[in-house]
Chain A
Amino acid sequence: SAVISQKPSRDICQRGTSLTIQCQVDSQVTMMFWYRQQPGQSLTLIATANQGSEATYESGFVIDKFPISRPNLTFSTLTVSNMSPEDSSIYLCSVEAPRDTQYFGPGTRLTVL
């Protein structure tokens, strides 16, 4: 299985600022995904990131708020822009794995004050 790391593991940010989260995989993958997990809630897909193309955003998520980069087959970033306390969540990246499964990173725990 792929080994996925995320940076930072946690952060506390001020309202109105932006945070960029990094996701690194130890092998090349075509599809990477970004999820949000609000406190005590399930995982909600933000967007799918393919190398060499624009990210595909799910309903309710927009590029201006959550810009994503995918410069190569092992790396992606998610930026949470102009943050408010409602953005306090765990942000998880994942990668496609064989037979419709996904492997997940450890998550980035974001608190916005």
Chain B
Amino acid sequence: GQQLNQSPQSMFIQEGEDVSMNCTSSSIFNTWLWYKQEPGEGPVLLIALYKAGELTSNGRLTAQFGITRKDSFLNISASIPSDVGIYFCAGHYGYALNFGKGTSLLVTP
């Protein structure tokens, strides 16, 4: 599958701060997805994006599908301790998903 570059690799922030992470690809995707994985669990879908330029929110989370269709970003506003986990971007191709390497988020109270 196509290589997805996700950054930053990790973030260590204080409660209340905003967070931004992004994902880029050398290839075009028609669908971008953002998942969160907590320790001992499988990934859980947060947001799905289907159109270039689309901006979608889910509570304190906002994600955008880049105009070039080769990138996406995820913002988390006013972080709280339960936001801790690994956030993965994924691009849909054919029948499967290609995942980025993940952004590990730690939030201190």
- Chain A interface (Cβ within 8 Å of chain B)? 4, 31, 33, 41-45, 48, 58, 92, 94, 96-97, 99-107, 109
Interface size class of B (residues with CB under 8 A): 20 to 34
Q: Is B48 an interface residue (CB 8 A)?
A: yes
Q: Are A42 and B101 in contact (CB under 8 A)?
A: yes
Q: A45-B98, A102-B45 are in contact. List 13 more A-B contacts (CB 8 A).
A: A43-B99, A44-B99, A45-B96, A92-B43, A94-B42, A99-B31, A100-B92, A101-B48, A101-B92, A104-B35, A104-B44, A106-B41, A106-B42
Rounded to whole angstroms, the CA-CA distance of A21 and B48 in the bound complex is 29
Contact between A43 and B44, CB atoms less than 8 A apart? no
| B→A interface (CB under 8 Å) | 1, 30-31, 33, 35, 40-45, 48, 50, 88, 92, 95-102
Residue ID in chain A nearest B43 by CB atoms = A104
The 5 tightest CB contacts between A and B, nearest first, are A104-B42, A100-B92, A100-B31, A43-B99, A42-B99
A33 touching B96 by the CB < 8 A rule?
A: yes
A-B contact pairs, 30 of them (CB 8 A): A31-B95, A33-B96, A41-B101, A42-B88, A42-B99, A42-B100, A43-B43, A43-B88, A43-B97, A45-B1, A45-B96, A45-B98, A58-B1, A94-B42, A96-B95, A97-B45, A99-B48, A100-B30, A100-B92, A101-B33, A101-B48, A101-B92, A102-B45, A102-B97, A103-B45, A105-B42, A106-B42, A107-B40, A107-B41, A107-B42
